[in-house]
Amino acid sequence: MIRLFREKAAWIGWAIVIFFGATLFAGSVFFGFSDTPSPATGSQARVDKVATLGETPILRDVFARSFSQIVGQLSEEQQSLITPELLEMLRYNALVQTMQSMLLLEGAEKGKMTLSSMELKQGMQAIYAQFDLKDKKALKQRLKELDYPYKTFMKEVKNDLLQRKFANSLQAVVTVSNEDVDSAYREVDVQQILFPIQSKEDIEVQTELADTVYEKITEGLSFDEAVSLYSDPSMAPEQGRLGWIKVGDVVRDFEKVAFALNVGEVSRPIRTMFGIHLIKVKGKRELDRPETLDYEAEKAALLEREQKRVLQTYFDSIMSLRSLVITDPYVKPYPDKLKGDFDAAIGAYQSQVSLNPSSPVPHYMIAKVHLFQNRPSSAIAELEKADIKVEVSPQLDFPQLRFLMADLYLKQNQQKSAYAQYEKLLALVNTHEGLLLEFKKVLETQPLKKKAELINKIALAVQALAEQRAAELEAAEPATVPGSE
């Protein structure tokens, strides 16, 4: 149960990024596997979608802008090092960012928020300053060069500012005190009864049931008996015991109530994104803490964390009541794998093959799934399909493919085949010193009979790069005129 209940430690960090900057400077120089079909344009873009959240379609052009925002924050060097696995995560990140932006804008519209002329002016001045634009005229000129309509751009800016304003309103309610800092150095042993809410229709029914059970407990029914009578066994293993929890382990609303209860006390029903809860604290204990605490510094750090949590809780609480259906095969595999639905992920990769028959990437990703499921023969078969496609289109080759093939061949003691793959890998990375050095470290641990030859070739490649840098520096130095000193 604690697994369902702990705060999601998402790798995805939420932040609003002004669309203008991300779009102007986004680029991609991936090794050759940035093979997502181009975003739809014109009338097609209005109907082409990557997913549906509840009844709301997530349009491809909106998703593409989010993806550009994310990629645009990476340097050219970082982009050149993106792996197929990371690219897949970035696509899903873009989907999440798109959904979160939609929910913030929806919240702003429901709250009838508007922008004052001063707020819009300050937002535009920030854009001018960030991108070294003198004024509106310079902005319009830049947009014209990009063939991007000014009216469309201004609509995006206003939406972004409204999203930020609404997000700030959610975070403004967060306060922290010295007591909150003290709670961060404490644990509580928690037991609960959960009345799950899986649809809007469940809210009224489960709320009434929770109120009834709470009344029975106040009238003498023991908490353990209430757990046995009213909890779904699958939702309440170990009699509803969550065990010892710390600040940050569970969603904020649950945490606030749990840490405020005395030992043996039962809370009134509270609602979180998971449903309605009755909470009982079984025990409390102190954690190790510094002899002296800088409460102001601790509160500042805690406030920042809590503001992020309240925003994430807002997103989760809404999305838990809306079904997400991902239709884009380039976005779908990552969440499928997170859920353990590997057959669905393979199906999505196969759809990628149909959409882009020349790409080796789907075969590589299918191979990774097969390896995870301990099917090395199936993995090699897929990798060899990828290899054939790279032979036809060498520009689509990428290091991860070569490394994985070499590794599998070595495990089958196919020394010659493994060596050939490592040579191809060396050809791919021989202009990147960092990758060459990483390659050398890996080789030193591999049971390859001729690895000394490859390590020597790597050393020569690194030396050649050093000599090239030295020559470039020498050529860049200004010539000294005799007698000028």
Architecture of domain 2-171: Orthogonal Bundle (1.10)
Given this model, what pLDDT does residue 479 score? 59
> Cα(246)–Cα(265) distance, rounded to whole angstroms?
18
Given this model, what pLDDT does residue 234 score? 66
Given this model, what pLDDT does residue 358 score? 95
Report residue 149 as tokens. 């309509």
Rounded (10°) CA dihedral 46, 49, 51, 57: 20
Backbone CA torsion sign across 57, 60, 65, 70: positive
- The class level of CATH for 356-474 reads mainly alpha
Give pTM, 2 decimals.
0.73
Report residue 146 CA to chain centroid gap. 29
| Residue entry with tokens 């930020």 | 164
> Cα(367)–Cα(347) distance, rounded to whole angstroms?
13
Given this model, what pLDDT does residue 368 score? 96
Confirm if 426 and 451 have CB atoms less than 8 A apart.
no
One fold for 186-286 and 356-474: no
| Domain at 186-286, CATH from 3.10.50.40, 3.40.190.10, 3.30.70.270, 1.10.10.10 | 3.10.50.40
Confirm if 100 and 14 have CB atoms less than 8 A apart.
yes
Question: Which of 218, 121, 104 minimizes the C-alpha distance to 167?
Answer: 104
Domain parsing of the chain, residue ranges: 2-171, 186-286, 356-474
Given this model, what pLDDT does residue 237 score? 63
**Residues of the chain whose pLDDT is less than 50?**
1-33, 36-47
